[in-house]
């Protein structure tokens, strides 16, 4: 969401990690997660005044466990980085 009055152009970066009960985190998920799309993408320009854009990233989990998605956006013009301090968390169980 762009809360500014002027439009912004952002690069979205996403980093999936698997989180374990002992606090350890694994960053190489090549055998645990399939992602269809890019982990770094330039979003369409977002108009100002609370407008939004949507980016979908289809996922296929190959392993059980808790996965966290770290993400931030960088303004392509000012290089300012916007962090979301609430990570997206997915718990994958057997079905």
pLDDT in tens, 10-57: 999 999 999 898 889 999 999 999 998 888 999 999 999 898 898 888
pLDDT of residue 95: 57
Q: Which two tokens stand for residue 16?
A: 């999936």
Q: How many CA atoms lie within 13 A of 43 on its CB side?
A: 23
Greatest C-alpha distance within the chain? 46
Residues 62-77: tens digit of each pLDDT: 999 999 999 999 999 9
CA distance 37 to 63: 19
pLDDT of residue 39: 87
Does residue 63 contact residue 2 with C-beta atoms inside 8 Å?
A: no
- Candidates 2, 18, 17; CA nearest to 64 is 18
pLDDT of residue 72: 92
Domain boundaries, the chain: 1-13+37-53
């Amino acid at each position: 969401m762009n809360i500014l009055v002027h439009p912004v152009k952002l690069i979205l970066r996403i980093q999936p990690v698997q989180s374990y009960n002992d606090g350890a985190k694994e960053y190489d998920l090549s055998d645990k997660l399939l992602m269809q799309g890019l982990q770094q993408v330039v979003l369409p320009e977002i108009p100002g005044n609370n407008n939004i854009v949507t980016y979908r990233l289809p996922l296929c989990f190959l392993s059980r466990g808790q996965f966290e998605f770290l993400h931030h956006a960088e303004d392509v013009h000012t290089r300012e980085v916007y962090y979301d301090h609430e990570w997206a968390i997915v718990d994958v169980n057997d079905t």
